[in-house]
Amino acid sequence: MALYLGLLLFSFIITALAIVPFIDLLYRLRITHRSDTSGLTRESSPASTALHSLHIWKAGTPVGGGILMIFLVSLLYLLLFPLLSKSGVYISSNFPLKEELNIVFFTFISFGLIGLYDDLRKIFPSSQDSIPIIPKSSKQLLKFILSLFCGLLLFQNLHITALNLPVVGIWHLGWWYVPVSALIIFFFTTAFDYTDGLDGLASGLLLICLLAFWVISVASLDTPLSVFIALWLGSLLAFLYFNIFPARLWLGNAGAISFGSTLAVISLLLGKPVVLFVIGGLFVLDLSSSLLQSLSLRLLHRRLFHIAPLHHLLQIRGWPEPKIVQRAWLIGVILSILGLWLA
């Protein structure tokens, strides 16, 4: 465990040294949040107008923390993991090492690139010629295809065919594992993106979730995954310092989409995807509130809530942003303890 803690601290220091110059670079490149393209309001209503007025002051906040973390974590892993192997550290893995790393970093980077496209379209909406337009439905389809490919890699290359259900036991799925795992990955990719709407909310909840899965990975003696989570946690800690209210740096869609999908893949590699729905329960709740709102509008032609997702509903009801985030973190801690107990 001392090794993993050292890696976490090293990743924290490297990210902390890089993040202020990176923020300055984003300002110079004008890669900042624009109030007119924020995407905060997915529906037209007095509540969405009120919410927009609560967030308009955030225009000009740099966007791109996710890209920085994806780059630094990948680079540090590339440099440090071979050194660990050559220095005599015992490497224990539940799967073929190369295949396990392929699926983790394929997810981490490929979903990040999709999110980066979204960020660039929002930040530079006038660049019609240099950045081609992809319809929203096509982007969702692309994310699902990538999720399906990740599920196929887990099934074909790592030969995972079962889910571990708390209390019930092992559930063997055979080739059905591919679409089931794809749905889990796609669900959490979308859920994380929806939750990333308040300063420090999604990144703080991710930190709590990763700590829980770090415990599970260390207990499972999966060295490659434990090293990856340690480096990710260190980088995330440094980012969170600048992301809490009032945020000086945002994740952006690159980070939100990448981190949600990678969290799901980690749970699948550890055989604990059902536990993820407990540990990441607030991600589930936020997305569920938005889905229910959408279904109500389409089927009943009325809003179930004044606005969705849930954290925005609390905000227009008068809850200060830091209060919502802090309460969410506390609930996230309780859910993580419950999830570890179930695991």
Q: How far apart are CA 16 and CA 52, in angstroms?
A: 31
pTM above 0.85, yes or no: yes
92, 218 contact by CB (below 8 A): no
- Structure tokens of 116? 């980066």
What number of other Cβ atoms are within 10 A of residue 294's Cβ? 14
Amino acid identity, position 12: F
- Structure tokens of 336? 């993580």
Across 40-56, b (16+ Cβ under 10 Å) vs e yields bbeeeeebbeebeeebe
43, 266 contact by CB (below 8 A): no
Instruction: Considering only CA atoms, give the Rg of the chain.
Output: 20
Q: How far is CA 281 from CA 44, 165, 182, 221, 239, in A?
A: 28, 16, 19, 26, 23
**Concatenated DSSP letters for 295-327?**
HHHHHTSS-SSSSSSHHHHHHHTT--HHHHHHH
37, 125 contact by CB (below 8 A): yes
273, 184 contact by CB (below 8 A): yes
Residue by residue, pLDDT tens for the chain (343 residues) are 889 999 999 999 999 999 999 999 999 999 998 764 333 334 457 888 888 788 888 888 999 999 999 999 999 999 999 998 888 888 998 899 999 999 999 999 999 999 998 888 877 765 555 556 666 667 789 999 999 999 999 999 999 998 888 777 788 899 999 999 999 999 999 999 999 999 999 999 999 999 999 999 999 999 999 999 999 999 999 999 999 999 999 999 999 999 999 999 999 999 999 999 999 999 999 999 999 999 998 888 888 888 889 999 999 999 999 999 999 999 999 999 999 999 8
